[in-house]
């Protein structure tokens, strides 16, 4: 396990504030029965921040047509929808909601060439709400594999204010490698061709790289 490089500054700020608070408590409130529990709580938060921004090692499911989950979480949407940005037509949507305790690092769902990237500023509604897909801050990424295109959105949630996306149009990417991170609560919307075989069900818990979301057909 490692820590995502784009989270070092956030971790540094939290740890600096935590150490300052602990120092002030010990200096101005030398009542150990109160100070020690408060300091333990502060250090617990500091350790949780390290845990929160972790990047675990994963065993990637092989297969050129196999689409794996971009993120850890729970499947909250499986539906046929009209997607106006990339497919510009009907396709299948699978959405994964990440809670506060899920890994928030994101991974490429399939190998191929990045064909599209766009950042959209927006609101910070609760990520599980249907309208969040359109109105919340998000990044849109399209990738073309040998079996077809996969389009996904990294959606900010109520507490997320920064989305990191490592997507450059024209570059080749490999399934299972890091493609970014969403800080704090968030959601991933994945869009797939209509003839795709969906392999997950609603409310199923999924893991990035290891859970098969779908299989593409030529």
Q: Nearest Cα to 9, choosing from 138, 183, 159, 156? A: 183
CA distance 173 to 146: 13
User: Has 140 been annotated as catalytic?
Assistant: no
Q: What is the DSSP secondary-structure string of 36-71?
A: HHHHHHHHHHHHHHHHHTEE----PPP-TTEEEPSS
Q: Which residues contact 44 (CB under 8 A, 6 or more apart)?
A: none
Selecting among 95, 133, 139, 186, the annotated active-site residue is 186
CA distance 103 to 49: 12
CA distance 70 to 95: 10
- Burial class (CB within 10 angstroms; exposed 0-12, middle 13-18, buried 19+) of 58: middle
CA distance 66 to 210: 11
- Report strand pairing: 105-107 vs 66-68: unpaired
Q: Enumerate the active-site residues.
A: 186
């Amino acid at each position: 396990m490692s820590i995502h490089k784009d989270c070092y500054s956030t971790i540094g700020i939290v740890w600096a504030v935590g150490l300052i608070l602990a120092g002030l408590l010990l200096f101005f409130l030398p009542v150990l029965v109160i100070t020690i529990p408060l300091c333990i709580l502060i250090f617990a938060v500091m350790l949780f921040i390290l845990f929160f921004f972790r990047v675990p090692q994963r065993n990637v499911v092989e297969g050129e047509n196999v689409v794996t989950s971009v993120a850890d979480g729970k499947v909250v949407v499986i539906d046929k929808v009209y997607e106006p940005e990339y497919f510009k037509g009907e396709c299948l949507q699978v959405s994964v909601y990440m809670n506060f305790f899920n890994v928030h690092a994101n991974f490429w769902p399939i190998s191929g060439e990045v064909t599209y990237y766009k950042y959209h500023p927006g609101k910070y509604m609760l990520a599980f709400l249907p309208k969040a897909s359109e109105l919340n801050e998000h990044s849109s990424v399209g990738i073309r594999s040998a079996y077809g295109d996969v389009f996904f959105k990294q959606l900010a949630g109520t507490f997320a204010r920064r989305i990191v996306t490592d997507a450059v149009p024209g570059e080749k990417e490999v399934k299972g490698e890091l493609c970014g991170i969403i800080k704090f609560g968030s959601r991933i919307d994945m869009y797939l061709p209509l003839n795709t075989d969906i392999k997950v069900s609603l409310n199923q818990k999924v893991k990035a790289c290891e859970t098969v979301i779908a299989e593409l057909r030529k």
